[in-house]
Chain A
Amino acid sequence: DAGVIQSPRHEVTEMGQEVTLRCKPISGHNSLFWYRQTMMRGLELLIYFNNNVPIDDSGMPEDRFSAKMPNASFSTLKIQPSEPRDSAVYFCASSQTRGGGGEQFFGPGTRLTVL
């Protein structure tokens, strides 16, 4: 398997623009997670899905952030409008639901820079 695939790997945009990050989880995995990593705040869970349904979005910072999972093989994280403080590395991860304690497999991340 190719592992978790994220695109783009790097994104540079200007404040106010819409940004869409994409993720393809590992085939057969039914849980998908979006994380944000910064030096100041570390690794934060933004939202996670189970069987394509959002289970916990308490980490989504504000209404400018939205995430969708239209099917088992694709998810998007959208920021509209983007702000400089959104600059971070965004990771997608997937796992097989085991009722807790499953290994999460992370993608390579998308480095977002908002000017």
Chain B
Amino acid sequence: QQQVKQSPQSLIVQKGGISIINCAYENTAFDYFPWYQQFPGKGPALLIAIRPDVSEKKEGRFTISFNKSAKQFSLHIMDSQPGDSATYFCAASKGGSEKLVFGKGTKLTVNP
């Protein structure tokens, strides 16, 4: 059972454009939603995270939008740069648990 569904699988964006990656979850007990960024040959690294008490969180060019009623959250990358080219994973965890459930990942390519 895939608890976190991520789309699209791959995304190509021009430099300066907006990249949008979506995730949907099933378990209403989830209360922590991070996004991880992974470059080739490296381990994933935390990019930004949100809890369901807010609908949006912004850090620089990266924004998480959260829709609790729809059980969806998304990552927006504004002014996308070639250096943003990486694989992005959404994830979720339940209250009190350290265990993260990851989406399948989105490979983002930003063309110069």
Interface positions of A (Cβ within 8 A of B): 4, 31, 33, 42-45, 48, 50, 55-56, 91, 93, 95, 97-109
CB of A109 to closest CB in B, whole Å: 6
Cross-chain pair count, CB within 8 angstroms: 60
In angstroms, Cα B100 to Cα A93, docked, is 11
Q: How large is the interface on B (under 10, 10 to 19, 20 to 34, 35 or more residues)?
A: 20 to 34
Residues of B that sit less than 8 Å from A by CB: 31-32, 34, 41-46, 49, 51, 89, 93-105
Please tell me if the beta carbons of B102 and A42 are within 8 angstroms of each other in the complex. yes
Asked whether A100 lies within 8 Å of B43 as measured between CB atoms, the reply is no
Residues of chain A lying within 8 A (CB to CB) of residue B42: 108-109
Q: Contact at A43–B95, with CB atoms within 8 Å? A: no
Contact B31 A100 (CB under 8 A): yes
Nearest 9 interchain pairs by C-beta? A106-B43, A101-B32, A42-B104, A43-B102, A103-B46, A100-B96, A31-B98, A106-B44, A91-B43
| B44 near A43: Cβ-Cβ < 8 Å | yes
- Enumerate chain A residues within 8 angstroms of B89, measured Cβ to Cβ: 42-43
Q: Closest Cβ of chain B: how far from A26's Cβ, in Å?
A: 12
CA A107 to CA B41, docked complex, whole Å: 11
